[in-house]
Amino acid sequence: MPVKRFDKTPMPTQVAGMRAHNFLEVNEGYTEDHARFEAERCLRCQDPICVTGCPVGVPIPQFIHAVALGDMQGASRLLRSANPLASVCGRVCAQENQCEARCSLAGRFNPVAIGHLERFVADWERTQTQEAKPQITRTEKVAIIGSGPAGLVCAGELARLGYSVTIYEALHAPGGVLRYGIPEFRLPKDILDWEISLLTDLGVKIECNVIIGRTLSLDQLTTKMGYSAVFIGTGAGLPQFLGIPGENLVGVYSANEYLTRVNLMRGYSADADTPVAHGESVAIVGAGNTAMDAVRTAMRMGASKAMVIYRRSETEMSAREEEYHHAKEEGVEFHWLTNPLEIIDDGNGRVSGLRCQRMVLGEPDKSGRARPVAIPDSEFVIPVDNVVLAIGTTPNPMLTRTTAGLSTTPSGCIVADERTGSTSRSLVFAGGDAVSGAATVILAAGAGKRAASAIHETLNPG
């Protein structure tokens, strides 16, 4: 592959015109030659600051050095010791804002492709026979509520310390957003299944279809069921709506519902009987990772026109760089500085269009981003069959409303210590999106990891 030394080794991908119509993974992964070539770009800095950009503290220069030497076993041991979800994070982390942003090469040249190398090593590990696993050696049992990255990582860390761990998950399959939100073309479910199988091999039990706060209460876990500690990793899965007319029309979805129908309920497969729209013209409102996933899914579901509607500009959008780049390549339309005012009824209760107004950017708001301001008399209608709202989510109140003594913020997030995850309830810990509000996989994983060590220190001090 002809690459300049200071460029990142490009990630091989499926051709855009083809992949926009299938659910196969877009990125095809490095070969060993690519990986070693890219690893040799690492400067092995004396005082590496890339590591400070990683919320789980992956020993980045060391694992990359091992890749450069062709020691994949060593690289995978180093990686796995710090990141129990490496094959997931290698695919979905926004490295450009984290480790790669702090790479010494980043200022003048392209940073080392740390994420692509992480994915390569984790995928290599998947082809190897797994080593003997630690056993349950302790008497204390720990319950984990929610099987997203926070819960999975917390469970894995505790199992490695010898605790008996059970995860309770409301849905019928584990993984949280990694299962129901992030599509197959970005994170194949066999990768997730493999990561989860490593946990069940350690002895972690997973009970699906159990809603804590409905099927069982948190108090039942700690009293009748004998759990010594509980970790809450219930995420932020409650969708927000715009509050504009027409949101109840047939053909309007929250992105969570739309993606769940397609990913978790296999709506993409011809042999699944999941009711999900196959609109010709689909508008996604919002410009974060969820919006990119929804719009690219709509294309793959057969839309001839799939568009992103965002009231701010390209500069303010929060989606990962790679997702935006791939979406553009696949033919997604972007309508910047466009604010939806009404979803239009076709007269039979179905969506026929989106009435919008044009915006300009004003002074920064509380978030520090430029505030969008409406341009008078700039309204117009975009004809659409479906509207998918991807404008944010908040924590689901089911558990917090049914659990006495668990403090929450006004926005419904659980109050928890940042370092330990301890909450207002003794021996109840929390982390991930349920505490921070909607954030990222690696931050949730980091919170799960810190809470696991705090639970261990609490149950077995010294």
Ligand X SMILES: Cc1cc2nc3c(=O)[nH]c(=O)nc-3n(C[C@H](O)[C@H](O)[C@H](O)COP(=O)(O)OP(=O)(O)OC[C@H]3O[C@@H](n4cnc5c(N)ncnc54)[C@H](O)[C@@H]3O)c2cc1C
Interface region with ligand X, contact rule CB under 6 A, candidates 69-77, 98-106, 287-295, 310-318: 287-295
- Judged by CB under 6 A, which of 87, 234, 254, 260 binds ligand X? 234
Nearer to ligand X, 162 or 175 (CB): 175
Q: Verify binding: residue 239, ligand X, rule CB under 6 A.
A: no
Q: Select 36 or 179, whichever has its Cβ closest to ligand X.
A: 179
Rule CB under 6 A: say whether 95 interacts with ligand X. no
293 near ligand X (CB under 6 A):
yes
Sorted by sequence, the CB contacts under 8 Å of residue 411 that are 6+ apart come out as 394, 437
Quickly tell me which residue has 């974060």 as its tokens: 288
Q: Which is nearer to ligand X, 86 or 359 (CB)?
A: 86
Q: Return the C-alpha torsion angle 52, 54, 60, 61, nearest 10.
A: -20
Residue 260 CB, nearest distance to ligand X (Å)? 9
The residues near 249 (Cβ < 8 Å, ≥ 6 apart) are: 343, 345, 349, 350, 351
3-state secondary structure of 357: strand
Applying CB under 6 A, the span of 4-12, 22-30, 303-311, 391-399 interacting with ligand X comes to 391-399
Nearer to ligand X, 382 or 406 (CB): 406
Which residue pairs from 42-45 have beta carbons closer than 8 angstroms and sit at least 24 positions apart in sequence? 42/68, 42/112, 43/104, 43/105, 45/104
According to DSSP, the β-strands at 351-364 and 141-145 are unpaired
Residues making up the chain, counted from first to last: 462
Site for ligand X in 146-175 (CB under 6 A): 146-151, 168-171
Examine residue 353 and tell whether it contacts ligand X (CB under 6 A). no
| Total interface residues for ligand X by CB under 6 A | 42
Q: Which residues, at least 6 apart from 237, have a Cβ–Cβ distance to it below 8 Å?
A: 177, 256, 393, 395, 396
- Using CB under 6 A as the binding rule, the residues of this chain from 311 to 340 that contact ligand X are 320
Q: Assess 439 for contact with ligand X (CB under 6 A).
A: yes
Residue 195 CB, shortest distance to ligand X, in Å, is: 13
Q: Which stretch binds ligand X (CB under 6 A): 34-42, 359-367, 406-414, 435-443?
A: 435-443
396 counts as binding ligand X under rule CB under 6 A: yes
Cβ proximity of 430 and 408 under 8 Å: no
For ligand X, the binding residues in 60-89 under the rule CB under 6 A are none
Question: Could you give the string, one character per residue 176-215, with x where binding to ligand X holds by CB under 6 A and - elsewhere?
Answer: xx---xx----------------------------xxx--
Q: How far is the CB of 168 from ligand X (least distance, A)?
A: 5
End-to-end CA separation in angstroms for the chain: 53
DSSP 8-state assignment for residue 232: E
55: contact with ligand X by CB under 6 A: no
Position 391 contacts ligand X (CB under 6 A):
no
Q: With binding defined as CB under 6 A, does residue 229 bind ligand X?
A: no
CB of residue 399 to ligand X, shortest distance in Å: 4
Q: If we measure between CA atoms, which residue out of 423, 390, 359, 321 comes closest to residue 93? A: 321
Q: Does 233 bind ligand X (CB under 6 A)?
A: yes
CB crowding 309-338: b at 16 or more within 10 Å, else e: bbbbbeebbbbbebbbebbeebebebbbbb
Binding marks (x or -) toward ligand X, 250..279, rule CB under 6 A?
Answer: ---------x--------------------
Max Cα separation, the chain?
A: 70
325-329: Cβ within 8 A, 24+ apart: 326/13, 326/16, 326/26, 326/292, 326/296, 327/292, 327/295, 327/296, 329/16
316 versus 358: smaller Cβ distance to ligand X:
316
Closer Cβ to ligand X, 44 or 325, answer by number: 325
Is residue 421 a contact point for ligand X (CB under 6 A)?
Answer: no
SS3 343: strand
User: Is there binding between residue 432 and ligand X (CB under 6 A)?
Assistant: yes
Q: Which of 318, 339, 400, 440 binds ligand X (CB under 6 A)?
A: 440
SS3 category, 45: coil
Structure tokens that stand for 124 in this block: 């290599």
Beta bridge partners of 252: 387
> Which is nearer to ligand X, 357 or 429 (by Cβ)?
429
Q: Residues 141, 427: contact at Cβ < 8 Å? A: no
- Between 101 and 211, whose beta carbon lies closer to ligand X? 211
Q: In angstroms, give the least distance from the CB of 451 to ligand X.
A: 11
Binding site for ligand X (CB under 6 A): 92-94, 145-151, 168-171, 176-177, 181-182, 211-213, 233-235, 237, 259, 289-290, 293, 320, 396, 398-399, 432-434, 438-442, 444
